[in-house]
Amino acid sequence: MNYHEMALEAAGFATRNDAGQRIGRFTLRVLHSPAGEMAADEAVTVDYDDCRLQASLMSLESREIDRTALIDLGRSLAALLLPDGKRGDAPSVREIFARNLEKLGADEGLRLRLRLPAELAVFPWEYLYVERAGGEGADGFLALDPRIAIVRHDALPTEAPLPLVEGDIRVLLALAQAEELPELDLAGERDALQQALQGIDGITSEVCPDATLATLQPLLPGAAIFHFAGHGDFTRRMGARPGTYSGVGYLALADERVSAEQMAINLHGNGVRLAVLAGCQTGRRDGVSVWSGIAPALVKVGIAAVVANQYSILDTCAIAFSRQFYQALAGGLPLERALSAGRIAAYNADPQGRDWGVPVLYLRAASGQLFAGAADGEARRRARQAAEADVEVRLTEIAAGGVVVGADLQRMLNGRLSVAVELAGSVAGTLIGARVKHLEDGGTQVRVDAGRVLGGGRLTGLTGCSKRP
């Protein structure tokens, strides 16, 4: 899948007191995108109630947030990053975003690359919510749309596309249960990852149990992916500005807490292309130094991409995410699409929760296409199909009594189903985008476009679907 890029840049962050309220302000512009850009003097000014937003973020972090409140938070974040305010005759940032989506082809996506100051980088932009036609469903969360990727990008040069990793993708799985920290289901994550990777040509794994720096050092050379399963930690203190804080990120190994800087030094130069930090809070940022978190520190020293957690995540959601994420990489899919597959799996594991938005992608590389996938073509095809399915149907018309079904599945076990049915003429019969008799796991996205519906004609997006109890 080819992702086009819409780069957003925020600058000039400041806060002020206004009648007892703390108001945040910054300027925002579209650096570039297929549907247009904004010059520096065309940047829009965004104001928001910082106290109200901080209260919502505290509820999100502590899991004291329901679906309605999560949607409200997503709307608030979208009002900041994709404001709909008019700029005279020029399109708003929200309109430019919508035009970019309209330009996408059948196998294309949009990468939202965020270039933000430290004070804004701490916000969980993965929960951006834009209403879709037909109500306030979960499909309004942009990160759950496989066509949309949200990536973090700090003030570093974007690297040119890297050559694909050919042959086996070597994954080093580091397991660490630190003393005096809550017990983790590391055995469950190890078993789930090994089961997901077992028998997939193009991926090999090696486990480092009770990981310490001493045991990791001889295993790192030649590893393309470093996967850490354990606790992350972030010591913080309040910053000079209200609502900001500073601190240092750590990975809690079996015998010691290792700082971001120390871990970065150990990973750099060993061929690690992607770091997956499955520990809680490894993706946290602070409001002063952009490099105090583990993930940004790794990107700074040259790791092409890092996936990390910005909040705590349930073990069930973390395991579901990892399973689909690696399956997608084995299929040769780009990181952006693999992350989407993982998010949908985490959402299915806990549809009413917020853990699907916890993983954050930091991408310094120009493209997330880092791995060629399984060397064997058939194995690569199977892995890709497990992570996604795309169906396209183009018709002229459907006569009375005719029935057309874009996709008809007895059972969908996992992955993602995307169906697009386009009909240029009229519908006098029945048009069904997709019929799934039993949805075991996975996500569906169905789009049906028709010229006109005549009397007796019927259009249905998704039907016949029952979910596993």
Concatenating the DSSP letter of every residue in 398-421 gives B-TT-EEEEEEES-B-SSEEEEEE
Rounded Cα–Cα distance for residues 329 and 311 (Å):
24
- The per-residue pLDDT for 322 is 85
Closest CA to 196 of 318, 324, 345: 324
Q: How far apart (Å, rounded) are the C-alpha atoms in residues 469 and 467? A: 6
In one-letter notation, the amino acid at residue 322 is: S
Contact 13, 288 (CB under 8 A): no
The reported pLDDT for the residue numbered 412 is: 45
Helices (H), 242-361: 260-267, 294-300, 315-330, 335-349
| Alpha helix positions (H), 62-109 | 67-81, 93-103
> For residues 125 and 115, is the Cβ–Cβ distance under 8 A?
no
Which residues are 208's β-sheet partners?
Answer: 174
Spatial distance between the Cα atoms of 28 and 194, rounded to a whole number of angstroms: 44
Rounded CA-CA distance 96/25 in Å is: 21
Contact 271, 325 (CB under 8 A): no
CA-closest candidate to residue 370, choices 275, 304, 298: 304
CATH architecture of the domain 169-385 equals 3-Layer(aba) Sandwich (3.40)
Domain ranges of the chain: 2-152, 169-385, 388-463
Contact 377, 404 (CB under 8 A): no
Could you list the pLDDT tens digit for every one of the 469 residues in the chain? 889 999 999 999 999 998 888 999 999 999 999 999 999 999 999 999 999 999 999 999 999 999 999 999 999 999 999 999 877 788 999 999 999 999 998 789 999 999 998 889 889 999 999 987 555 778 899 999 989 999 998 766 656 667 888 877 899 999 999 888 888 888 887 887 887 777 667 788 999 999 999 999 999 998 999 999 888 877 766 666 555 566 677 888 999 989 888 888 888 888 889 999 887 777 776 665 555 678 887 888 788 899 998 888 887 888 888 888 988 998 899 999 999 999 998 998 899 999 999 999 999 888 899 998 878 788 788 888 777 654 445 556 777 777 766 555 444 444 455 566 666 677 788 877 666 655 544 556 666 667 777 777 776 666 655 554 4
Quote the pLDDT of residue 409. Answer: 47
d(C-alpha 394, C-alpha 400), whole Å: 18
